[in-house]
A and B are shown apart, each in its own frame.
Chain A
Amino acid sequence: MVACGSYLRKRIYRWRIYNVSTNPRCGILVPLWLAILFLSASCGGDGRLERLHPEENVLRIAVPSDPRSLDPAIAYDVVTWPLVRTLFHGLVDYDDDLNLVPWHARSWTISEDGRTITFKLRQDIRFSNGRPITSEDFAYSLQRILNPAVKSPGQGFYRNIAGARAFQDGSADRVSGLRTPDLETLEIELVQPDLPFLYCIAMPFAYAVPREEVERHGDEFGRYPVGSGPFTLARWQRGTGLRLEKNPGYYRADDIRLEAIDLMVGGDETLHMMMFERGELDIASVTSTGIPDADFIRVMNDPVLSKRVAHQPLNAIQYLSMNTELPPFDNVNVRRAVNHAIDRKRIVGLISDRGIPARGVLPPGMPGFNEALTGYDHDPEKARTLLEEAGFSEGFTTELMVTAQSGIDSKIGQAVQQDLAEVGITVEIRPVTGPTRIEATGRRGAVPFATFGWYQDYPDPSNFLDVLLNGNRITEVHSTNVAFYDNERVNALLNEASSSTDQGHRLALYQEAERLIVDDAPWVFLYYPQMYLLRQPWLKGLKLNPVWPIRYELMWVEP
């Protein structure tokens, strides 16, 4: 993946930088270069192999900004989910081959018609406040997601439960399809058969929350979460950090080897990388990129650091969403033009080729990936023609929302800016913090154009196509369909696919839907990213998995 020759070349360049004194044109820089040379030479010590953390068996990691909420009904991003998983737990989970295995459910059965799932639950698990967990807690947690007042971004996953719609529009005070015949049985009745529904049950949205604590804290539950996971939240000082401590009452407490997780909030990925190399952090970055762009080649070429890299192809896509309800993106030719205007190869080059240029929605590792899709090639001429057809021969001005202080977003933003300027579209870049961006883009009619990364929640095409592009998933706030893309034909195909029980047929329907979507171009399909995780040699128990790349509860520190 990395050309070997490049390192040598870089060494030669480096020498030339320092040797500037022979180059009269750089004369003004000579004293500074000399000072740097002196400093670099005088501090050759490499302290990278020592762990700089006062506490043993405490995992220390860092993120740029606070999680929005630790409430399993609200949290929905790659950084927060692994934390939610340490605080709560659910009915089913994945094994290393992505098969579903029992967790809180001892076993489950699916009825003949595929519309009723019956879970038999364990009886020996308690919330950290001491109360035993029953089937009623799971029923309550699922119903809570569907409660419009909670504004859960996950509600779309569970609307297939019988009675969900009646509950949501207020005509019923409970979801009729959630039944608890006794304390160890949970029955879920669906409107129509739904193969990936069990995957939805495995998502953190469906983790059990204690009703009494939710009611006590109200909107603040995400700040003071109480669950049943291997850890409990000991402290959360906004802007500073979080500390999760081992939950001694966890039902498998003996398997948990970490004493605590110390999550620092603040700083950018560059700072985190430096802290990592000094031994102040145990994982370089737990955000989606894993290793900052600037350091990737250096890390891969470094004989010590490269041994600490764990690689995982993700089922993920990086894209720009165009709000199909807001002009000028309500015009399909404008959207196609934008797709043609952008040079994906160059963008992938900017991130050291850690991605595959995208031709559609579904990434190569996903069932249903369509090899035959052609997508949009880089063709500014065609883009200009399309713009003219759309009546924008003079171009237009728009605003691209990106995450502030994110290296990747800043790069993508400026690359897009240049590519679109070429065809006459002026892009202004608007940086906002991560949580604000999620909040704003999920709101109907608010943000025309934004950068996005989507990481699979479960290994099924519905997780991409249904969640992000089904018109029936559009909500006024917290919409996951951030392009607000609504095509009757696509909706019908997706709905048919989700109720079909024949996997082959489903995949065919999804491919057909994807073809239509690519043609409608609600997104600029950029690239499918890869994950490289950089961790310290003393961090053990790292088990990458495409759904759960990071599982803190399996890790421990062995100095």
Chain B
Amino acid sequence: MTVIASTAANVDSDETVRAPVAFHQRMLKNPMVCAGGGMVLFLVVMALAAPVLTGLGFLEDPMRQLSDGLDADGLPIPPGDRFLIGTDHLGRDMLARLVHGTRISLFVGIVAMLIAVCVGVTVGMLAGYHGGWVNTVLMRGTDVMLTIPGLLLAIALAGLMDGRVIHLHPDALDWHGLDITLKRGLVSVFLVIGLISWTWIARTIRGQVLVLKTREFVASSQAIGCSDVRIMFRHLLPNVMPLVIVLGSLATANTVLLDAGLSYLGVGVPPPTPSWGTMIAEGQPYFIVSPHLTIAPGVSIIVAVVGFNLLGQGLQEVLDPYVKDGQGK
């Protein structure tokens, strides 16, 4: 959903001379990894802790429209002692909604990223390793996907998936018990986001595989008769793994933004499930009287996306995953 799809790989850092220090030390020394990692860790802890906190009574139920959640005029309550960051237009506790929203956003973001990475890595490796017509078909397909505006495709898919029935049985038989009705919800959202986010990963992975293919270890594996599958998974995959980690982190930034965007437009996870995008959409009419309804979820999205972006950039510096032609590591 960002206006930029080409985040990966293009903004590279200024080349720095690195002392041969231990890997984890380099990680910890990198300010971007620390900052980004910290933000991501914070959000993950929040997401995991949310149900526990609610269960123990530290947080309100995020879906509960509280009887004391609105003031005498029916307006949201501003941040204060009773509600740390106020309540929303229906009298639900904003803090609870934000924390639980973290769950939804991270869950959708990470699952969608995993889908995107799986598809992207598979396509990229196959295309890069096989070359020839496999490469042509896969890469042309990728180009087509890159040409179709992803967000439009996503809202079209998300909108049309709603209420669609998949028959798992032959038409002649009448086993409607096996029908799956697709509903607007978590599954359709992360499927849609995953399916439009893999293209950059595929392209980048393919580029790396093309370089790796020229290395001796591939040639020697082929010489001793390893199968293609074995070469791809046992030899190539570990070598592109650092890159996959970097791309995955950057892709999560993107999928989190997309999730927020779809919810904002009203085709994401349906209410009353707390989702940052929906919270902004619902809160913005109140911006003049209760800015916290819009600011707080906005800041949450920014923190999450900046976190994943920083982490990705930092990992890119630390792991240095790009294998350059003709220079060994």
A–B in direct contact per CB < 8 Å? yes
Residues A13 and B84 in contact, CB atoms below 8 Å apart: no
Chain B positions 29-46 with a Cβ under 8 Å from a chain A Cβ: none
Q: What residues of chain B lie closer than 8 Å to A414, measured between beta carbons?
A: 65, 90, 271-272
B71 CB-CB contact with A under 8 Å: yes
Task: Report if A404-B288 is in contact (Cβ < 8 Å); known contacts: A3-B72, A352-B75.
Answer: no
Chain B positions 88-111 with a Cβ under 8 Å from a chain A Cβ: 89-90
B80 CB-CB contact with A under 8 Å: yes
B207 CB-CB contact with A under 8 Å: no
Residues B271 and A407 in contact, CB atoms below 8 Å apart: no
Q: Which residue of A lies closest to B78 (CB)?
A: A13
**A295 CA / B285 CA spacing, docked (Å):** 8
**A407 CA / B303 CA spacing, docked (Å):** 28
Residues A352 and B271 in contact, CB atoms below 8 Å apart: no
Interface string of A122-149 (1 = CB under 8 A from B): 0000000000000000000000000000
B174 CB-CB contact with A under 8 Å: no
Residues A32 and B299 in contact, CB atoms below 8 Å apart: yes
A168 CB-CB contact with B under 8 Å: no
Q: What residues of chain B lie closer than 8 Å to A10, measured between beta carbons?
A: 71, 75, 78, 289
Residues A418 and B266 in contact, CB atoms below 8 Å apart: no
**A270 CA / B64 CA spacing, docked (Å):** 25
A216 CB-CB contact with B under 8 Å: no
Interface string of A1-30 (1 = CB under 8 A from B): 011001001100110110010000110110
Chain B positions 258-311 with a Cβ under 8 Å from a chain A Cβ: 266, 270-272, 282, 284-292, 295-296, 299, 303
Chain A positions 415-455 with a Cβ under 8 Å from a chain B Cβ: 415, 417-418, 428-429, 431
Q: Which residue of A lies closest to B79 (CB)?
A: A17
Q: Which of A268, A298, A351 makes the CB contact (< 8 A) with B74? A: A351
Q: What residues of chain A lie closer than 8 Å to B292, measured between beta carbons?
A: 17
Residues B272 and A16 in contact, CB atoms below 8 Å apart: no
**A351 CA / B292 CA spacing, docked (Å):** 19
Q: Which residue of B lies closest to A270 (CB)?
A: B285
Chain B positions 10-57 with a Cβ under 8 Å from a chain A Cβ: none
Q: What residues of chain A lie closer than 8 Å to B71, measured between beta carbons?
A: 6, 9-10
Main secondary structure of the interface of B (DSSP, over half): loop
B151 CB-CB contact with A under 8 Å: no
Using a CB–CB cutoff of 8 Å, the interface residues on chain A facing chain B are 2-3, 6, 9-10, 13-14, 16-17, 20, 25-26, 28-29, 32-33, 36, 268-270, 292-295, 297-298, 346, 349-353, 404-405, 407, 410-411, 413-415, 417-418, 428-429, 431
**A390 CA / B266 CA spacing, docked (Å):** 35
**A353 CA / B266 CA spacing, docked (Å):** 27
**A20 CA / B86 CA spacing, docked (Å):** 13
Q: Which of A2, A16, A404, A428 makes the CB contact (< 8 A) with B73? A: A2
**A353 CA / B70 CA spacing, docked (Å):** 12
Nearest first, the 7 closest Cβ-Cβ pairs linking A and B are A294-B285, A13-B78, A270-B285, A294-B286, A352-B74, A297-B73, A349-B74
**A14 CA / B79 CA spacing, docked (Å):** 9
Q: What residues of chain A lie closer than 8 Å to B303, measured between beta carbons?
A: 28
B319 CB-CB contact with A under 8 Å: no
**A353 CA / B303 CA spacing, docked (Å):** 37
Q: Which residue of A lies closest to B282 (CB)?
A: A410
Residues A407 and B75 in contact, CB atoms below 8 Å apart: no
**A36 CA / B282 CA spacing, docked (Å):** 20
Residues B90 and A350 in contact, CB atoms below 8 Å apart: yes
Task: Report if A411-B89 is in contact (Cβ < 8 Å); known contacts: A28-B299, A36-B291.
Answer: yes
**A270 CA / B280 CA spacing, docked (Å):** 13
Q: Which residue of B lies closest to A26 (CB)?
A: B79
Q: Which residue of B lies closest to A23 (CB)?
A: B79
Residues B289 and A294 in contact, CB atoms below 8 Å apart: yes
Residues B74 and A350 in contact, CB atoms below 8 Å apart: yes
Q: Which of A3, A292, A295, A415 makes the CB contact (< 8 A) with B90? A: A415
Residues B64 and A418 in contact, CB atoms below 8 Å apart: yes
Chain B nearest CB from A266 CB (Å) reads 15
Q: What residues of chain A lie closer than 8 Å to B287, measured between beta carbons?
A: 270
Chain B positions 199-252 with a Cβ under 8 Å from a chain A Cβ: none
Residues A29 and B90 in contact, CB atoms below 8 Å apart: no
**A32 CA / B89 CA spacing, docked (Å):** 22
Q: What residues of chain B lie closer than 8 Å to A26, measured between beta carbons?
A: 79, 84-85
B63 CB-CB contact with A under 8 Å: yes
Q: Which of B72, B78, B291 makes the CB contact (< 8 A) with A16? A: B78
